[in-house]
Amino acid sequence: MQTSLGAPPEPPIFRLIMAMLLTGSFFCLTTAIVIHLYTQNRLYEAQRFEQIQQGRIDRAVALRQNQGYRACIAEAEQVPSESLHYLQAQTIQSECQIAMTQDQLRKAQSLADAGYLKDAIAELQAITDESVQDQVEQLRLEWSNRIFQLAETYYHDPNNRYEEAIQTAKAIGITNPLYDQVQSQTAAWRVEWAANLAHFEAAERSLAEHRYAEALRETQQLSHLYWKQKATGIVQQAQSKLESQSSHVSLPRHEIEAAPNGLLFSIKFLLPFSLWSLLTQSRRSR
C-alpha cells in the first residue's frame, strides 16, 4: 500500500535566519527613520535659530537708521558667537557704538555752549567708548574749570550770591580731578562768610547799645564786599554819632594844661572821637 507524503518540513535553522533577517531589516528601517527625523529636526532648529538671529540683525539695522543707537547695540549683542550672523552683528554693534558716542559728544557740547555745564559733564560721564576717553577727560576738565570760575564769580558778587556759589561748586563731584581743590576753596568761603556775618551782627549790637567806636571796629573786620556794603548804614550812623559826641565833649582841665599853646585842644575837635579816644588813652598809659 502506497502512502501519500507532503512537502518535507523546513529546517528550524532556516526559520531562524528568516526571522533574523526580518528583524534586522525592521531595525535598520526604524533607525533610518529615526536618524532622518533627528536630522530634519536639527536642520529645522538650526534654520529657526538663524531666523531668530536674522530678526535681531534686522531690528538692529532699523534702530541704527532711526538713531536708536543704545537699543541697536543691545540688540546686536544678543547674537551669539555660534551664529552665522555673528560677524555682521559685531559690525553693526561697532557702527552703532561710534554713532552713539559722536551723538553724545555733540549733545554734551551743545549743553556746555548753552551754559548747562553740570548737565554737559553728566553727559560725558555716560560715554563708555574707550577710544574717546582722552577727549572726554579733556572736555571734563575744561568744563569743570569753567564751573569753578563761575562759582568764584558768584561768591565775590556784591549782591549776595553765596548760596549759588556753594551749589555751583557742588556740581564738581568726587570723581572730578578738581574735587579736592574745590572742596578746599568752598571750605574757606564758608569760614570767611561766617566770620563776616559774625562781625556784622556784632556791629549791629554795638550800634544798638550806643557803642559807636566798637561798631566801627567791627565793620573794619569785614572782608567781603557784600557785607561791607551792607554795613554802610552802620558805619554812617556810628560816625555821625561819634562826630556829634565829639562836638559836645569838654576837654579835661589837666589835658588843656598839658597841651602847649592850646594845641591839644585844637586837635581834640579836629580828630574824630574814636581817634581822639585812642590818643588820650595812649597819653594816660604813659
> Where would I find the H helices in the chain?
12-65, 69-77, 86-113, 117-125, 133-156, 162-169, 179-208, 212-219, 225-230, 232-246, 253-258, 263-270, 273-285
> Which one-letter DSSP state was computed for residue 6?
-
Query: Which of these, 168, 156, 241, lies nearest to 193 by C-alpha position?
Result: 156
- In the three-class reduction of DSSP (H, G, I as helix; E, B as strand; rest coil), residue 190 is classed as helix
pLDDT at 24: 73
pLDDT at 273: 43
Mean pLDDT by 10 residues, the chain (286 residues): 53 72 72 67 79 91 91 92 91 93 94 93 91 93 95 96 96 91 97 97 96 95 96 95 76 43 38 47 49
Contact 53/84 with Cβ under 8 angstroms?
A: yes
Indicate the pTM of the whole model. 0.61
Q: How far apart are CA 180 and CA 70, in angstroms?
A: 34
pLDDT at 101: 94
